[in-house]
Amino acid sequence: MTPENYLQQYIEPLSALTGSASTGDWQALVLEADYYYPPHSELGSGLDTLNRTGLLEILQRILAIEYPQQRLSESTARKFPEILRRLKDEQAWRQTEIERLEEVSAQQQSAHARMTAELVEQHQTGLQQMVVELERCHGESAVLFNEASTLRANLAELQASTSWKLTRPLRWLGRLMKAINAASDT
Protein backbone atom coordinates (compact mmCIF):
# COMPACT_ATOMS: atom_id res chain seq x y z
CA MET A 1 0.00 0.00 0.00
CA THR A 2 1.42 3.35 -0.96
CA PRO A 3 1.48 6.32 1.39
CA GLU A 4 -1.09 8.07 -0.80
CA ASN A 5 -3.55 5.20 -0.39
CA TYR A 6 -2.97 4.49 3.30
CA LEU A 7 -5.32 7.14 4.71
CA GLN A 8 -7.73 6.73 1.82
CA GLN A 9 -9.45 4.01 3.85
CA TYR A 10 -10.23 6.62 6.55
CA ILE A 11 -11.14 9.43 4.18
CA GLU A 12 -13.63 7.52 2.01
CA PRO A 13 -16.34 7.29 4.71
CA LEU A 14 -15.91 11.00 5.46
CA SER A 15 -15.97 11.90 1.77
CA ALA A 16 -19.20 9.98 1.27
CA LEU A 17 -20.85 12.30 3.79
CA THR A 18 -20.01 15.43 1.82
CA GLY A 19 -20.15 13.95 -1.66
CA SER A 20 -16.68 15.06 -2.73
CA ALA A 21 -13.16 14.38 -1.59
CA SER A 22 -10.29 16.65 -2.37
CA THR A 23 -7.07 14.72 -2.23
CA GLY A 24 -4.47 17.43 -2.70
CA ASP A 25 -4.52 19.24 0.64
CA TRP A 26 -4.65 16.34 3.05
CA GLN A 27 -2.03 14.36 1.15
CA ALA A 28 0.46 17.12 1.81
CA LEU A 29 -0.26 16.87 5.53
CA VAL A 30 0.12 13.11 5.60
CA LEU A 31 3.25 13.08 3.51
CA GLU A 32 5.19 15.30 5.90
CA ALA A 33 8.75 14.29 6.70
CA ASP A 34 8.27 12.47 10.03
CA TYR A 35 5.41 10.22 8.95
CA TYR A 36 6.35 6.55 8.59
CA TYR A 37 4.38 3.87 6.74
CA PRO A 38 5.39 0.40 7.87
CA PRO A 39 5.94 -2.24 5.22
CA HIS A 40 3.41 -4.63 6.76
CA SER A 41 0.62 -2.08 6.19
CA GLU A 42 0.30 -3.54 2.71
CA LEU A 43 -1.03 -6.67 4.36
CA GLY A 44 -4.03 -4.68 5.56
CA SER A 45 -3.14 -4.97 9.22
CA GLY A 46 -3.47 -1.19 9.67
CA LEU A 47 -0.60 -1.08 12.18
CA ASP A 48 1.21 2.18 12.54
CA THR A 49 4.04 3.47 14.65
CA LEU A 50 2.35 6.81 15.13
CA ASN A 51 1.17 7.35 18.66
CA ARG A 52 -2.38 8.44 19.41
CA THR A 53 -1.53 12.09 19.80
CA GLY A 54 0.18 12.23 16.43
CA LEU A 55 -2.61 10.41 14.67
CA LEU A 56 -5.21 12.60 16.34
CA GLU A 57 -3.33 15.72 15.29
CA ILE A 58 -3.16 14.57 11.66
CA LEU A 59 -6.84 13.62 11.62
CA GLN A 60 -7.79 16.98 13.11
CA ARG A 61 -5.83 18.78 10.43
CA ILE A 62 -7.42 16.62 7.74
CA LEU A 63 -10.87 17.33 9.14
CA ALA A 64 -10.07 21.04 9.32
CA ILE A 65 -9.16 21.05 5.62
CA GLU A 66 -11.91 18.71 4.42
CA TYR A 67 -14.72 20.05 6.59
CA PRO A 68 -13.97 23.67 7.49
CA GLN A 69 -17.64 24.51 7.98
CA GLN A 70 -17.91 21.90 10.72
CA ARG A 71 -15.13 23.24 12.90
CA LEU A 72 -16.17 24.32 16.32
CA SER A 73 -14.71 27.65 17.26
CA GLU A 74 -14.23 28.86 20.79
CA SER A 75 -16.72 31.69 20.29
CA THR A 76 -19.31 29.20 19.07
CA ALA A 77 -18.60 26.95 22.03
CA ARG A 78 -19.09 29.89 24.40
CA LYS A 79 -22.56 30.46 22.94
CA PHE A 80 -23.67 26.94 23.85
CA PRO A 81 -24.31 27.61 27.58
CA GLU A 82 -26.44 30.64 26.69
CA ILE A 83 -28.32 28.67 24.05
CA LEU A 84 -28.74 25.78 26.50
CA ARG A 85 -30.00 28.18 29.20
CA ARG A 86 -32.51 29.71 26.75
CA LEU A 87 -33.68 26.25 25.69
CA LYS A 88 -34.10 25.21 29.32
CA ASP A 89 -36.00 28.43 30.04
CA GLU A 90 -38.22 27.81 27.04
CA GLN A 91 -38.76 24.21 28.13
CA ALA A 92 -39.69 25.39 31.65
CA TRP A 93 -42.06 28.00 30.17
CA ARG A 94 -43.64 25.37 27.91
CA GLN A 95 -44.04 22.99 30.85
CA THR A 96 -45.66 25.77 32.89
CA GLU A 97 -47.92 26.60 29.95
CA ILE A 98 -48.87 22.93 29.55
CA GLU A 99 -49.72 22.71 33.26
CA ARG A 100 -51.78 25.93 33.02
CA LEU A 101 -53.63 24.67 29.96
CA GLU A 102 -54.26 21.31 31.62
CA GLU A 103 -55.70 23.16 34.63
CA VAL A 104 -57.89 25.31 32.37
CA SER A 105 -59.01 22.19 30.53
CA ALA A 106 -59.85 20.46 33.82
CA GLN A 107 -61.84 23.52 34.95
CA GLN A 108 -63.71 23.62 31.65
CA GLN A 109 -64.46 19.91 31.85
CA SER A 110 -65.70 20.39 35.41
CA ALA A 111 -67.88 23.33 34.33
CA HIS A 112 -69.17 21.32 31.38
CA ALA A 113 -70.03 18.38 33.64
CA ARG A 114 -71.73 20.72 36.14
CA MET A 115 -73.77 22.45 33.39
CA THR A 116 -74.72 19.11 31.89
CA ALA A 117 -75.90 17.89 35.29
CA GLU A 118 -77.91 21.11 35.78
CA LEU A 119 -79.50 20.77 32.34
CA VAL A 120 -80.38 17.14 32.98
CA GLU A 121 -81.87 18.08 36.34
CA GLN A 122 -83.88 20.94 34.77
CA HIS A 123 -85.06 18.62 32.01
CA GLN A 124 -86.13 15.96 34.50
CA THR A 125 -87.90 18.56 36.65
CA GLY A 126 -89.69 19.95 33.59
CA LEU A 127 -90.59 16.44 32.49
CA GLN A 128 -92.00 15.60 35.94
CA GLN A 129 -94.04 18.82 35.90
CA MET A 130 -95.39 17.94 32.47
CA VAL A 131 -96.32 14.44 33.65
CA VAL A 132 -98.17 15.95 36.64
CA GLU A 133 -99.92 18.45 34.33
CA LEU A 134 -100.84 15.66 31.91
CA GLU A 135 -102.29 13.55 34.72
CA ARG A 136 -104.28 16.58 35.94
CA CYS A 137 -105.59 17.18 32.40
CA HIS A 138 -106.56 13.52 32.07
CA GLY A 139 -108.42 13.71 35.38
CA GLU A 140 -110.12 16.95 34.35
CA SER A 141 -111.01 15.44 30.98
CA ALA A 142 -112.57 12.43 32.67
CA VAL A 143 -114.61 14.71 34.96
CA LEU A 144 -115.79 16.80 31.97
CA PHE A 145 -116.64 13.65 30.03
CA ASN A 146 -118.73 12.41 32.96
CA GLU A 147 -120.47 15.80 33.24
CA ALA A 148 -121.21 15.81 29.50
CA SER A 149 -122.59 12.29 29.72
CA THR A 150 -124.75 13.29 32.67
CA LEU A 151 -126.02 16.39 30.86
CA ARG A 152 -126.84 14.38 27.73
CA ALA A 153 -128.72 11.87 29.82
CA ASN A 154 -130.61 14.69 31.56
CA LEU A 155 -131.43 16.31 28.20
CA ALA A 156 -132.64 13.03 26.76
CA GLU A 157 -134.75 12.45 29.85
CA LEU A 158 -136.16 15.98 29.65
CA GLN A 159 -137.01 15.65 25.97
CA ALA A 160 -138.72 12.35 26.65
CA SER A 161 -140.87 13.86 29.42
CA THR A 162 -144.56 14.74 28.99
CA SER A 163 -144.09 18.39 29.90
CA TRP A 164 -141.61 18.80 27.08
CA LYS A 165 -144.04 17.33 24.64
CA LEU A 166 -146.92 19.55 25.88
CA THR A 167 -144.90 22.76 25.65
CA ARG A 168 -143.75 22.09 22.12
CA PRO A 169 -146.33 24.36 20.45
CA LEU A 170 -145.47 27.17 22.87
CA ARG A 171 -141.77 26.92 22.03
CA TRP A 172 -142.64 27.03 18.30
CA LEU A 173 -144.80 30.09 18.81
CA GLY A 174 -142.00 31.78 20.83
CA ARG A 175 -139.53 31.24 18.00
CA LEU A 176 -141.99 32.66 15.47
CA MET A 177 -142.55 35.80 17.58
CA LYS A 178 -138.79 36.34 17.91
CA ALA A 179 -138.41 36.10 14.14
CA ILE A 180 -141.23 38.62 13.56
CA ASN A 181 -139.77 41.05 16.11
CA ALA A 182 -136.35 40.74 14.56
CA ALA A 183 -137.78 41.44 11.08
CA SER A 184 -139.72 44.48 12.26
CA ASP A 185 -136.64 45.94 14.06
CA THR A 186 -134.63 46.01 10.88
Q: What's the confidence (pLDDT) of residue 65?
A: 74
What average pLDDT does this structure show over 44-61? 63
Q: What's the confidence (pLDDT) of residue 74?
A: 72
What average pLDDT does this structure show over 146-173? 92
Interior/surface letters 66-90, b for 16+ CB within 10 angstroms, e for the rest: beeeeeeeeeeeeeeeeeeeeeeee
What average pLDDT does this structure show over 84-107? 94
Domain boundaries, the chain: 3-72
8 Å CB contact between 132 and 140: no
More confident residue, 89 or 60: 89
pLDDT in tens, 7-52: 666 666 555 555 544 555 555 655 555 555 555 444 334 435 566 6
Please report, as a single letter, which amino acid is at residue 55. Answer: L
- Residue 26, burial from CB neighbour count under 10 angstroms (0-12, 13-18, 19+): buried
Q: What's the confidence (pLDDT) of residue 75?
A: 73
Q: What's the confidence (pLDDT) of residue 20?
A: 47
pLDDT in tens, 98-155: 999 999 999 999 999 999 999 999 999 999 999 999 999 999 999 999 999 999 999 9
Q: What's the confidence (pLDDT) of residue 186?
A: 74
Q: What pTM, to 2 d.p., does this model score?
A: 0.38
Task: Give the residue among 2, 119, 125, 11 at the shortest CA–CA distance from 59.
Answer: 11
* Three-state secondary structure call for residue 167: coil
d(CA 4, CA 60): 18
